[in-house]
Amino acid sequence: MATMDQVSQIREKIDIVSFIQEFTPLKKLGRNFKANCPFHNEKTPSFVVSPERQIWHCFGCAKGGDVFTFLMEYENMEFPEALRVLAKRAGIELKESEFKASHASEREKIFSINKLALKFYNYILLNHSLAKTALSYLLEKRKINKGIIETFEIGFAPGSGSSLSEYLIKKKGYSRKDLIDAGISFESRGRLFDFFRGRIIFPLFDHRGNVVGFSGRSMDEEANPPKYINTKETEVYHKGSMFFGLNSAKEEIKSQQNAIIVEGEFDAISLYMEGVKNVVAIKGTALTEEQVALLSRFTPKVSLCLDQDSAGFEATKRSLAVLEKRGITTTIIVIENGKDPDEAIKDNPSLVKKAIKNDVNVYEYLIEKFIKENNKNTVDGKKKITDNILPLLSQISNEIIKEHYLKKLSKELDITLESLSKEIEKIQKGKEEEKIVIAKKDKRGRRELLEEYLLALVLQEENSKELLEKIDGHLETYEFEIPSYGKIFERIQVYMKTHEKMDVKEISKALPSELLTSFDSCYLLPLPKFDTRLLLLEEVEKVIKDLREIFVKERIKKITGELNEDLDDVKSEKLREEMKNLFLLLPKD
């Protein structure tokens, strides 16, 4: 697919700071940029990007790399797919080579199979007599026109046998294993069968336009088989991270700065047909953290338009927890008579559009709902209302917003704000006690941390020659606890003997690959700001002194242990002499 020269060209053409800035906001800090890590939850920024080295590293989760590794991590891509995306961005046409044939990823293969399956299903629906009933069901009963069928690339899976499997094997050269891995086929008693049979097929795209899987719907509302079956979990399809319609809704969601969430494919399609195009359907009963993380890239607001039965209401409550965690503003679209969006829009599209325009803040909606369902003038009613609403209000991270709704509840129930706040505190305390929180502490010893710090001070200092002169001679007998730090330090010393200034790019290129991770993390390690050069030099001297002291004490402890063993006189005397010299190196109190 590409030569190593092309990979380097792509890397050089794409500025890593500008690229990462599109995914997460970065703030300038000295020579580098910092942010909250997009790969794990954190309150203090530990994600660092270097424009000089064109690398990134997180000191919280220890992930790091270049522009390729960032995209692969962020988008859950494998290298061939990331290469294709970045090559297009850089304006570089990839050269075909044997690399493509021998290194095509499993994901890429599944995407190709799914794309062919999509075309097969869509062709059957629109052109084959086998799909006459299915096409009639969509056009007449569901009132979906052919243009929308083509927009969403809806299809039909024939009701018997293995026609798709045979087509992909005989005409396209895929193996049985390929089709089973993609979730397109399954094996039974030595025979291969199509996974979807006799169902309307909705393709599921990711936000980059790859077909990741399918959802198959039965046309028989009374049938015993489930109404919907989805592609089994594969290398590319994970139910809890997927939406129906995101690829076609993405731009409108960005434009509207709002995503409308519905439950089913037909709900999403009906709204789309009426011009409401910022709509996606969830594949499950409630939003997951993965789905919310994906949506948060495109919008700060979500409007839930779920079925208004008890299951839909429970899904709303469960979704709220993950939406609040991401800081997304959430509203509810209330459709009169409790109808689902598909049914309601067929009856009265203007009423549905009015409901969308007049969406209600989720907490306003919940307070009103619980008050409506319980008598707020009785002690029992007040308890039921607060038992339901306070756990949801306790999730709000913004204290001003939380107090706003507590005041509203206080007024509605004629209960003091202080009483409600105390109950909220109990709930939050209970949640904390339920969690078994193991703080992620840096389990490394002080010596290792000091070695990393010293190397970072040297690597990040423009005039490293002066620092190395300060260090020179003080660490002659010192042995680095972390061998990689010691080897990097030696290479820097050798380099600076023939250079006046340090060029980190040049040094890094000469390093063996096994040292690059340590080199990059030290180069990006956040350091305190030193107001004067004197303070920096004093800090270096202090670190050297501490390292030597730790090393000497550890060596004395080791020798003491060895002297307790049965040794010959010569070796014992040698160890005692070494210990005596070591004691002389310890600081005098």
| Residue (of 540, 462, 448) closest to 496 by Cα position | 462
- Cα gap 330→360, rounded to integer Å: 9
Q: What is the pLDDT of residues 521-536, one digit of tens each?
A: 888 888 888 888 888 8
- Indicate if the pLDDT at residue 431 is higher than 90: no
To the question of domain 238-358 being in CATH 3.40.1360.10, the answer is yes
Q: Which CATH class is domain 4-103?
A: alpha beta
Q: How many CB atoms lie within 10 A of CB 225?
A: 11
Q: How confident is the model at residue 178 (pLDDT cuts 50, 70, 90)?
A: very high
Q: 383 vs 468, which has greater pLDDT?
A: 383
| Residue (of 210, 216, 245) closest to 110 by Cα position | 210
The pLDDT assigned to 573 comes to 74
- Cα gap 168→162, rounded to integer Å: 10
Contacts 24+ apart (CB under 8 A), 77-81: 77/107, 78/105, 78/106, 78/107, 78/108, 79/105, 80/1, 80/104, 80/105, 80/108, 81/105, 81/107, 81/108
Over the chain, what is the mean pLDDT?
87
| Residue (of 442, 469, 438) closest to 525 by Cα position | 442
Q: How confident is the model at residue 101 (pLDDT cuts 50, 70, 90)?
A: very low
- Cα gap 121→113, rounded to integer Å: 12
| Residue (of 211, 92, 228) closest to 153 by Cα position | 211
CA 268 to chain centre: 25
Contact at 8 Å (CB) between 259 and 298? yes
pTM of the full structure: 0.71
Residue extents of the structural domains in the chain: 4-103, 106-237, 238-358, 365-440, 446-585
Q: Which fold has domain 106-237?
A: DNA primase DNAg catalytic core, N-terminal domain (3.90.980)
**Angle between helix 399-413 and helix 379-393 axes, rounded to 10 deg:** 170
Q: What is the pLDDT of residues 233-290, one digit of tens each?
A: 998 898 888 899 999 999 999 999 999 999 889 999 999 999 999 999 997 678 988 8
Q: How many CB atoms lie within 10 A of CB 450?
A: 17
- Cα gap 255→89, rounded to integer Å: 22
The pLDDT assigned to 474 comes to 75
